[in-house]
Homo-oligomer: A and B are copies of this chain.
């Protein structure tokens, strides 16, 4: 299984991350020497990434460069920028996949730009009306046969208002993705609501609950509450993008508060120093639960080919993890699985496809 026939070809957007292109080029160089099943094209400003690549040790059979003159700055307005910049690196990556020159995109640049570039170039899986951004989030409980210390939340992207069918589609896509990355044949899928009972929540959540209960191929465990997210009661937790954004930012906020309290204790209280190593260990344990970097990237789900958004602050290890995940998904039957499941929808089955 680790030696598939055909290597997965990844278009790696090297521009627009917080820590600069060197982390992405380093990840690509590293993988070229160690993974025969992955071929990477680093995409970005040749004048920047060319010298970085020249200074690296890498296997040229599995790593090449593609120049693009432009890129989207994370602080710019993605939509306007992308319209102006036809040669933006993220757009070039997506076009490579759209044209069959690559199988998957990985980027640590702007999330908005990645979503827009993918929307513009890549096809959606038949039956999927809205794509979703999923986040891999740390949990206290472990998940699946690999005992992963994380769960998948979606949508954390741009679906501010959703229909019941959108939520069910997210559940299907999240389940398929979790099955692949966690080798978990039956990931437990839940809807986020304000109570466990099937009648709890806004109309679209109540309706999605009813649809999911009658759906084959999904291990639907019902509604979970906010309490269950960090605890890790479900492998996949489904919500609209507005709630998803609030949830994600709150988890980030917890990490900050813990970290501030730890450093505050250090600075102020002399007597604490005796026990500070111990305190730090405890804090690190909590922070590792809250550390985005350990878990690679956030998949953009619903397109026929994988697009993985690594965290903007990703170092080379996180980028390499994101590339491995992208390769795994590219070699899977995820698109077909999602298409089959989505075709079960009573309404969408008679729909406009």
Contacts and interface: CB of A to CB of B under 8 A. Distances in A.
Contacts of A252: 226-227
A262 interface: yes
A279 B286 contact: no
Contact of A225 (B193, B194, B202, B246): B246
Nearest to A194: B245
A160 B279 CA distance: 41
Interface stretch (A9-17, A39-47, A210-218, A270-278): A270-278
Interface in A258-291: 258, 260-262, 265, 272, 274-279, 281-283, 285-286, 289
Nearest to A193: B242
A247 interface: yes
Interface stretch (A91-99, A124-132, A228-236): A228-236
A250 B275 contact: no
B249 A225 contact: yes
A74 interface: no
Given A278-B279, A279-B279, A243 B243 contact: yes
Given A226-B253, A242-B194, A261 B247 contact: no
A251 B225 CA distance: 11
Contact of A250 (B226, B258, B276, B279): B226
Most buried by B among A201, A203, A282, A289: A282
A207 to B, nearest CB: 13
A140 interface: yes
B247 A225 contact: no
B242 A226 contact: no
A69 interface: no
Nearest to A246: B226
Given A161-B202, A231-B256, A253-B231, A265 B285 contact: yes
A135 interface: no
A195 B122 CA distance: 27
A141 to B, nearest CB: 10
Contact of A227 (B192, B202, B253, B272): B253
Given A278-B274, A278-B275, A245 B226 contact: yes
A248 B261 contact: no
B225 A257 contact: no
B272 A242 contact: no
B249 A250 contact: no
A22 B133 CA distance: 50
A241 interface: yes
List the 10 closest pairs (A to B, CB-CB), nearest first.
A275-B278, A226-B249, A194-B245, A226-B250, A227-B253, A226-B246, A275-B275, A227-B249, A225-B249, A230-B253
